[in-house]
């Protein structure tokens, strides 16, 4: 008897807990939503001068509310307190559902691993003894092109197609609080039946399911035939993470198309702390430089197409020149990694997206080519660089454009214009980045 069959009673019990937890989440969500709707409707009636006496639906709704929620009809009823209580109940229900999903998947996954590991390891040995590498590669190709992979954090509008994996090892849904994010993640894993569903290659690259030998061979084929979309801050883990336990490095096998998403602000939200002072800004920009530099470790650069999408957002309520300065410093931080890739033989496409207008332009080809420097000129400039991107004559600090002395501020603004023209061939940034 298989482990899954032997554990069916336990799995059914865990599944019932999942169903109960899902029902509790739905009920708590409806109650929390309902009290907010009734409070909004009550306020509307207080402030709306229109006459609802002839509105039969409104009259009937008021009557139903009075009958179903008599406590809310009392003078001075505290809607905020009730809403807070219901919100707490909803978060508790979400947490319990999250734990129920995890408990079921943990048990189910353990059973499947126990059932699959021995037989798949035996199958791998038999394939090695009887099939040539070409036939094994065909089998693994068939498996990898059909692997069901979720788009964890889309790096471009629209769906992520099966041939294009989106890698985010620390998935967050970005739809609500951390609790809600963990709940969404747990639900996705529960629906897929294993915790590897959010990782490249899914369970096929996990040696606990298929054994180290098969995991290694599938990983080699998977990374060789797939295209990937990656967030810049996950590049290091994506390129060097060994899921097979065999010393495998994805960067040695990737041969397709890699899209790298490089955001520099999130609608003036959490990433804005990077721009609060020069120290934060330098650390942030050096992080971009370091992450993009990992792309040079790719073994097959001459066979690769690497698309780098730099996304910027015009900062709100600050001087126009500060927006121009940000753009300039961002471009300086990505300059060396991009030029290194170009002159190492990679087909590099650099796109800039301006968030405020959703305008995307290719800035690595004419007529707006920002990367015209030939190999000889780049090698000469590269010799002047240190191992890390650090502030230098190319960096313009925010304090320079905030100087109280008008003369010094004017000099800094002129230096910014000259630097943009000398380093990038433009007096202004793309689409006049920033706001006047």
Which residues in the chain land under pLDDT 70?
42-43, 45-69, 71-76, 145-180, 266-272, 314-317, 387-393, 427, 430-436
> What ranges make up the beta strands (E) of 123-193?
164-167
Cβ contacts of residue 132 below 8 Å, gap of 6+? none
| pLDDT value of position 154 | 32
Determine contact, residues 195/188, Cβ cutoff 8 Å: no
| Cα–Cα distances in angstroms (integers) from residue 130 to residues 56, 122, 123, 136, 220, in the given order | 79, 12, 10, 10, 20
Distance CA 138, CA 148 (A): 18
> What ranges make up the beta strands (E) of 232-341?
257-263, 305-312
| pLDDT value of position 392 | 63
User: Torsion angle of alpha carbons 248, 251, 252, 254, nearest 10°?
Assistant: 110
Q: Where are the domains of the chain?
A: 3-94, 115-424
Determine contact, residues 257/307, Cβ cutoff 8 Å: yes
| pLDDT value of position 347 | 96
Q: Which of 387, 390, 381, 385 is CA-nearest to residue 422? A: 381
Cβ contacts of residue 218 below 8 Å, gap of 6+? 140, 143, 144, 201, 204, 205, 210
**Per-residue tokens: 43:** 């306020």
Q: Which of 247, 157, 254, 138 is CA-nearest to residue 200? A: 254
Q: Which of 313, 221, 230, 231 is CA-nearest to residue 272? A: 313
Crossing angle of helices 79-130 and 8-47, in 10° steps, is: 140
Distance CA 354, CA 326 (A): 13
Cβ contacts of residue 197 below 8 Å, gap of 6+? 148, 149, 150, 188, 189, 203
Q: Which of 93, 84, 74, 76 is CA-nearest to residue 35? A: 84
| pLDDT value of position 382 | 86
Q: Helix, strand, or coil here: 309?
A: strand
| pLDDT value of position 94 | 92
| pLDDT value of position 189 | 84
| pLDDT value of position 340 | 95
Distance CA 82, CA 80 (A): 5
Model confidence pLDDT, tens digit, residues 139-174: 988 887 665 443 333 333 333 222 334 444 333 332
| pLDDT value of position 110 | 93
| pLDDT value of position 86 | 86
Model confidence pLDDT, tens digit, residues 355-406: 777 788 899 998 888 999 999 999 998 888 876 666 666 788 888 887 788 8
What's the predicted TM-score (pTM) here?
0.77
Determine contact, residues 385/336, Cβ cutoff 8 Å: yes
């Amino acid at each position: 008897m298989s482990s899954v069959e032997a554990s069916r009673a336990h799995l059914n019990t865990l599944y019932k807990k999942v169903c109960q937890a899902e029902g509790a989440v739905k009920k708590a969500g409806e109650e929390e939503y309902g009290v907010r709707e009734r409070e909004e409707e009550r306020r509307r009636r207080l402030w709306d001068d229109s006459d609802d006496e002839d509105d039969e639906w409104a009259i009937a709704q008021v009557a139903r509310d009075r009958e179903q929620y008599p406590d809310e009809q009392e003078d001075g009823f505290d809607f905020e307190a009730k809403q807070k209580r219901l919100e707490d109940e909803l978060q508790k229900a979400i947490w319990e559902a999250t734990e129920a999903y995890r408990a079921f998947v943990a048990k189910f996954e353990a059973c499947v691993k126990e059932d699959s590991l021995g037989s798949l390891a035996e199958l791998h040995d038999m394939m090695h003894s009887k099939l040539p590498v070409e036939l094994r590669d065909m089998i693994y190709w068939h498996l990898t092109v059909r692997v069901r992979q979720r788009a964890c954090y889309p790096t471009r509008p629209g769906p992520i197609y099966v041939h294009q994996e989106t890698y985010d090892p620390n998935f967050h849904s970005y739809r609500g609080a951390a609790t809600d994010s963990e709940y969404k993640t747990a639900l996705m894993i529960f629906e897929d039946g294993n915790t590897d569903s959010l990782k490249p290659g899914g369970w096929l690259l996990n040696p606990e399911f298929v054994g180290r030998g098969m995991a290694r061979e599938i990983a080699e084929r998977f990374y060789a035939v797939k295209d990937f979309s990656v967030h810049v801050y996950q590049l290091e883990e994506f390129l060097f993470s060994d899921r097979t336990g065999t010393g495998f490095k994805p960067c040695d096998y990737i041969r397709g198309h890699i899209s790298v998403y490089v955001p520099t602000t999130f609608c003036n939200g959490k990433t804005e702390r990077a721009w609060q002072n020069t120290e934060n800004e330098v650390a942030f920009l050096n992080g971009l430089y370091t992450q993009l530099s990992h792309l040079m470790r790719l073994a097959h650069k001459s066979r690769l197409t690497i698309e780098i999408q730099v996304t910027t957002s015009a900062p709100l309520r600050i001087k126009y020149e500060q927006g121009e300065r940000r753009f300039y410093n961002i471009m300086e931080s990505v300059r060396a990694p991009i030029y290194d890739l170009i002159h190492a033989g990679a087909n590099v496409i650099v796109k800039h997206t301006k968030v405020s207008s959703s305008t995307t332009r290719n800035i690595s080809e004419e007529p707006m080519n920002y990367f015209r420097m030939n190999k000889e000129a780049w090698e000469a400039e590269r010799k002047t660089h240190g191992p890390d991107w650090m502030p230098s004559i190319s960096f313009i600090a925010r304090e320079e454009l905030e100087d109280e002395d008008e003369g010094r501020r004017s000099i800094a603004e002129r230096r910014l214009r000259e630097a943009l023209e000398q380093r990038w061939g433009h007096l202004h940034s793309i689409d006049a980045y920033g706001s006047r």
